[in-house]
Amino acid sequence: MPIRQKTLFEIDGLCVRLSHYGANESMPAHGHEYHQVSWLLAGEIAECISRCDREVLQPARGVKPAGCMHANVYGQQGSLILSANLDCDAVRQFLPGNTLDWGWGESEDGNANVHALMNVIATGGELARDAVADLLASSGRISQTGHREVPAWLTRVREQLRDDEFAPDLESLAAGAGVHRVHLSRSFVRHFGVPPSVYRARSRAAQGLSRLVNGEEPALAALDAGFADQSHFSRWVKKMTGLPPKRLQRLMAA
């Protein structure tokens, strides 16, 4: 279960929530009585349905129809997920004509529109309902493609970037793997969908964000996550969620 959860908007048949899942949290196979559209804002998620797995490492939108049995494992640094749960009437109202098949789609704008809309929804008031309608209309390419087989050397590089705050630079990681720096970058993007330098920065920011939503002061959360200063960490939190660290912390604590 999520260690932190905040309902941002709720009417009959529709609920929008912001949830933070702890590091390596998992959920066994389960289904929902409602349809669900989710946006991964920070961290990572691995989702399995039937024999199809999808590992999501960057901003993305996911769709699950009611009754879809799925299992989840959340990232090493925790995961921040915005979700909208809809009954059939709400789907007809907010997602007319949409086919709700399971899948995750990468966001071409890096969730920029989702961030702005979440800010409006979290503020509440008369604009919140319109912002929810716009949120549900936001697009993303949905893919049901499973994993490509990842070379062992590339998995080790990813683990170092994710887990080791003192991991060497990419040139040294490439040399240690016996590949060229350019080959490392191209392989990383091909298999994981994100450049390795961005992946490292997002992993550190997600780690700091996990500490933040659990009540740690932004300055200490930034330091513990390996950022040189709080302002750099704050920029990454706002980039990933659309909210400044202090506001996000207050929102999740309410």
pLDDT in tens, 225-239: 989 889 999 999 998
Q: Is the dihedral of CA 56, 59, 63, 64 positive or negative?
A: positive
CATH, domain 152-253, list 1.20.120.450, 3.40.50.1820, 1.10.10.60, 3.40.718.10? 1.10.10.60
**Residue 125 binned pLDDT confidence (cut-offs 50, 70, 90):** confident
pLDDT of residue 1 exceeding 60: no
pLDDT of residue 244: 92
- What residue ranges of the chain are covered by domains with CATH 2.60.120.10? 4-137
State how far the Cα of 222 lies from the Cα of 226, in Å rounded to an integer.
6
**Residue 173 binned pLDDT confidence (cut-offs 50, 70, 90):** very high
Q: Read off the tokens for 90.
A: 């709400």
CATH homologous superfamily of 4-137 equals Jelly Rolls (2.60.120.10)
CB 110 within 8 Å of CB 138: no
β 103-106/70-86 pair status = unpaired
Nearest to 202 by CA among 226, 174, 172: 226
Tell which wins on pLDDT, 112 or 75: 75
Other Cβ atoms within 10 Å of 191 Cβ, number = 18
pLDDT of residue 143 exceeding 70: no
pLDDT of residue 161 exceeding 70: yes
Query: Which residue bears the tokens 């087989």?
Result: 149
pLDDT by residue (tens digit) across 12-63? 999 999 999 999 999 999 999 999 999 999 999 999 988 788 899 988 999 9
- What residue ranges of the chain are covered by domains with CATH 1.10.10.60? 152-253
Identify the DSSP state of 144. -
